[in-house]
A and B are shown apart, each in its own frame.
Chain A
Amino acid sequence: MIIGKPISVNTIHRKLGINKLAMNKIGVNTMIIKKVKIAVDPNRGEWSDLLVKVGEEKDKQAFSRLYTHFSPLVKGFLMKGSSFGHEQAEELVQETMIKVWRKAASFNRQKSSASTWIYTIARNSRIDWYRREARRRVDLNADDFYESADENPAYLSVVQIENKKSIQKNIKLLPREQFDVITKIYYEGRSHGEVAEELNLPLGTVKSRIRLALRKMNLQLEPLEMEG
């Protein structure tokens, strides 16, 4: 496996905290997993159940189902928004799924759905990829600055789940121009400013499309006091 040029595989492994001894202790060895299509409705939380199982019991069967479902999605997501080829995209998928395996215990189903949680891990893996490519400081990774934001106790999870449903329902109903701006920002993981520039649109136009789209998806956002 080669991830990026300037950094060794062992460094990657160290970043991911992969420890052979620890893995052996809990009995992880190379194993063959048959490809089985399993229908799970994400709205009913089965993916979250599986993730919790991985977190609590290091359940390899549960993980293989998650892997079978999510790795082609993460790969599709990455290839949609970045100029990654198959190989590069799959390396990032592996990096993401290794973190899913390792960090599953920190997944909190009260706070997010399985797909949102995996999305954030893929997002962070991509950030780290770009940072490595740019030869930025490598002892610092995206998880360091994203995860610690969540240290404090959670807010109402019910609101969260309702919102996700509303997003699912309404995102497809967005007018084309709003949908395109929103999806481009997410798929490519780029700032709205960069996207405005690339689409050759005034910044204000992009900002207002974002506002309208967020409103249509019924996000619970109150105006915040601003300072500038």
Chain B
Amino acid sequence: MAVKMHPDLDMLLDYSVGGLSTALSVSISAHLHFCETCRSYKAQLEDIGGTLLDEISPRDMVGPGLDGLWSMLDGATPDTDPLDSDIRDTDLRDRQAPDAVNSQNTAKSGLDSAAELRTLPALIQNLFPVKAPQWRALSPSLQVAKIPVGEQRYELALHKIKAGGKTPNHDHRGLEVTVVLQGSFSDGNGRYLPGDFLVRGPGNIHRPIASEDEECICVSVVAAPIRLLGRFSKLLNPLLSFNPE
């Protein structure tokens, strides 16, 4: 069944030239995974890039060139010091997403999550190269797992609504993009299936309800508002601003 809701063409263009934030790029990729039409648009937009590459004035290589490339391939020794790179990666992630790193030890549902993850598009699996998503309950029927990408402007997360689960009414502080990955949900405006790409803005109050037969998993991007420091900051975070029933 064809996907009904799509990103607009300008957004696909921004994606195709590499001008979108990582979080939004992930949401577009998730949509493309399900949408043949937009994949064809993206391929055509990339063809413009390929054509411009064909037509560009070449610049002579003055550095090590092909010999340098072969010796780089030849001299690469990723096996000799895996610690070096692993420490750096962890170090960086630690600084940027302490939640994700800390919860590694406390997650007891890690295996379940990993199994569940395998049914999702490879895209989503790729986003968790180190460990399974860490689900956190926002309400009895709604769970969230943040996906750290290290961006200030956008937050990326998975949302999971229990089969038949009603989420609290919520408004949007900034742009919110939701792409259904599995199952379906409805709100006042319609029913959304895997691949559907929804954009909501401030003042767009809605109350998603998952279908009765299956839990619903979505990937979402929220434009982060200016963060306030202090103990009320969480209340101002749109991802956490659902009012418990």
Is the A/B pair a real complex? yes
> How far apart are the CA atoms of A228 and B175 in the complex, in Å?
10
Known: A30-B67, A152-B36. A145 touches B123 (CB 8 A): yes
Whether A13 lies near B78 (C-beta < 8 A) is: yes
Tell me which residues across on chain A come within 8 A of B66, comparing CB atoms: 33, 64, 67-68, 71
Residues of A within 8 A of B112 (CB): none
Task: Provide the residues of chain A in CB contact with B53, threshold 8 Å.
Answer: 70, 73-74, 77, 115-116, 118-119, 122
Looking at the complex, which one of B32, B47, B62, B71 makes contact with A30 (CB distance below 8 Å)? B71
A220 to B43 Cα, complex, angstroms: 11
Min CB distance, B220 to chain A, in Å? 14
Interface centre among A144, A155, A190, A225 (most CB of B within 10 A): A144
> B residues 107-166 with Cβ under 8 Å of A?
121-123, 126-127, 129-130, 148-151
Complex: how many Å from CA A226 to CA B130? 36
B47-69 contact mask (Cβ, 8 Å, vs A): 1 or 0: 11111111111111111111111
B44 at the interface (CB under 8 A from A): yes
Q: How far is the CA of A190 from the CA of B127 in the complex (A)?
A: 23
Q: How far is the CA of A136 from the CA of B188 in the complex (A)?
A: 38
Q: Is A201 an interface residue (CB 8 A)?
A: no
B56 near A219: Cβ-Cβ < 8 Å: no
Q: CB < 8 Å: which of B69, B79, B127 contacts A21?
A: B79
Tell me whether B89 and A138 are in contact (CB under 8 A): yes
Least CB distance from A15 to B in Å reads 8
Question: Is A131 touching B47 in the complex (CB atoms < 8 A)?
Answer: no
Interface class of chain B by DSSP: helix
Which B residues touch A98, using CB under 8 A? 69, 72-73
Q: Per-residue 0/1 for B23-57: is the Cβ within 8 Å of any A Cβ (1 yes, 0 no)?
A: 00110111011101111111111111111111111
Q: Are A7 and B88 in contact (CB under 8 A)?
A: yes
- Count contacts between A and B, CB distance < 8 Å: 301
Is the Cβ of A220 less than 8 Å from the Cβ of B44? yes
**A10 close to B81 (CB less than 8 A):** yes
| Contacting residues, chain B, for A122 (C-beta < 8 A) | 53
Q: Are B60 and A72 in contact (CB under 8 A)?
A: yes
Within B73-111, the residues touching A (CB, 8 Å) are 73-79, 81-82, 84-85, 88-89, 92-93, 96-97
Chain A residue nearest in CB terms to B25: A145
Cβ of A182 < 8 Å from any Cβ of B?
yes
Residues of chain B within 8 A of A118, CB atoms compared: 50, 53
Interface string of A118-161 (1 = CB under 8 A from B): 11101110110001001111111010111011111001000110
In the bound complex, do residue A112 and residue B50 qualify as a contact, i.e. CB atoms below 8 Å apart? yes
Q: Which residues of B contact A11 (CB under 8 A)?
A: 84-85, 88-89
**Can you name 13 A-B pairs with beta carbons within 8 Å?**
A10-B76, A13-B72, A19-B76, A29-B74, A31-B70, A94-B64, A94-B68, A98-B73, A116-B46, A118-B53, A149-B32, A193-B14, A219-B45
Q: For the A-B complex with A144-B127, A167-B48 known, give 4 more contacts whose Cβ atoms are closer than 8 Å.
A: A7-B88, A136-B150, A148-B126, A192-B14
Enumerate the 10 nearest inter-chain pairs by beta-carbon distance, A residue then B residue, closest first: A116-B50, A72-B58, A18-B76, A149-B32, A148-B123, A136-B150, A11-B85, A191-B19, A149-B29, A224-B6
